[in-house]
Amino acid sequence: MNDDAQLIGETLRGNPAAFGQLVTRYQDRLYNTLVHVVGSTDLAHDAVQDALVQAYVKLETFEQNSSFYTWLYRIAVNLAISRRRRERPMQSVEQVREAVGHEPVDTAADAPDSRLEQRERAGQVQQALTALSDEHRTILILREVEDCSYEQIAEMLDLPIGTIRSRLHRARLQLREQLKGMFQEDRT
């Protein structure tokens, strides 16, 4: 399989199909992250497409100091958040349910009750995420769902690592506050 740099080079030499491979490679990962960031599958879908188009158009400006995905993600997050602010300033319960999705999470062998409970918990978490600011939600998703390092997040969001660290801390405390009830239930 071609690596990203090779595909980028081919694209820049006039072979759009090479970029098609990059799209195929990263679209699902990007989409999954954006669903959680914007809380809507529709918005995420549009944002993914927009981001990939923008990445193609601007590919010559990609200096390859970071990974292609980091660069792509940076474009995507900015587009997704601006689109979310523009189109859907308020998050509805339906959108949260939509974002929670229907797929079980590694629970193919689990009992139906367990799956239902997991879906409920996922719904609570997603709802709690929507209460966070865009900046805090994005950084949490990048860290916890995408498993990005601080350095990667700093590149994606164009922020100093110190800011990433403090912002993550505040995001966690806010989410903890939102999920206080769920954790109390767990303890009892």
Partner 1 sequence: MNDSYREELLSAYLDNEVTDAERAQVEQWLAESVEFRQLHEELRAMRQELRSLPTHKLDRDLSADVLRRAEREVLAGRSEGNGQVTPRSTVAEWWSRPKSGRMWFWPALAAAAALLIALVDLRQDAPERQVAREDKLVRAAGEKSGSELYGQKDGADRVSGRVMARSAKPADADIADVAPRESMPSLDAAVKQVAEPTAGASPESDASVSKAAPSPGQGYASPKNKATAAGVGVVNQAGEVKLESNVQSALANRSQLNLIQCEVSPDYLRDKRLDKFLVTNSITYKKLDEAQTTNYHLYFQAQQLEQAKKIPQASQPEALYAVEATPEQVELIVHELDRDRARVSNLSLGLQLLPAEQLEGAPQAEAPAGKAPAAPAMRKEAAAESRRAKLQSQQPVQIWLRQTAPGGAAAKPAAAPAPEAEPVPPPQP
Is 52 a residue that touches partner 1 (CB under 8 A)?
yes
> CB atoms < 10 A from the CB of 178, how many?
17
Q: How far is the CB of 93 from partner 1 (least distance, A)?
A: 16
Note whether 113 binds partner 1 by CB under 8 A: no
Q: How many CB atoms lie within 10 A of CB 160?
A: 11
Among 1-9, 64-72, 89-97, 164-172, the segment contacting partner 1 (CB under 8 A): 164-172
Considering only residues 81 to 100 of the shown chain, the ones binding partner 1 according to CB under 8 A are: 100
Spatial distance between the Cα atoms of 93 and 96, rounded to a whole number of angstroms? 5
For the record, the structure tokens of 40 come out as 């809507």
Between 46 and 66, CB nearer to partner 1: 46
Residue selected from 136, 143, 155, 156 as contacting partner 1 according to rule CB under 8 A? 143
Question: Total binding residues for partner 1 by CB under 8 A?
Answer: 63
Contact 164, 157 (CB under 8 A): yes
Asked if residues 46 and 26 have their Cβ atoms less than 8 Å apart, the reply is no
Which sign, positive or negative, has the C-alpha torsion 168, 170, 172, 175?
Answer: negative
C-alpha span between 37 and 111 (Å, rounded): 29
Q: Among 44, 96, 132, 139, which residue sits at the site for partner 1 (rule: CB under 8 A)?
A: 44
- Helix, strand, coil shares of the chain, percent, nearest 5, are 75, 0, 25
Residue 130 touches partner 1, criterion: CB under 8 A: no
Nearer to partner 1, 12 or 67 (CB): 12
Rounded to the nearest whole angstrom, what is the least distance from the CB of residue 89 to partner 1 in the complex?
Answer: 20
Q: How far is the CB of 168 from partner 1 (least distance, A)?
A: 6
Name the residue type at position 93: V
What is the distance between the alpha carbons of residues 129 and 141, in angstroms, rounded to a whole number? 9
Binding site for partner 1 (CB under 8 A): 11-12, 14-17, 19-21, 23-24, 27-28, 31-32, 35-36, 41, 44-45, 48-50, 52-54, 56-61, 100-106, 118-119, 121-122, 125-126, 140-141, 143-145, 149-150, 165-166, 168-169, 172-173, 175-176, 179, 183, 186
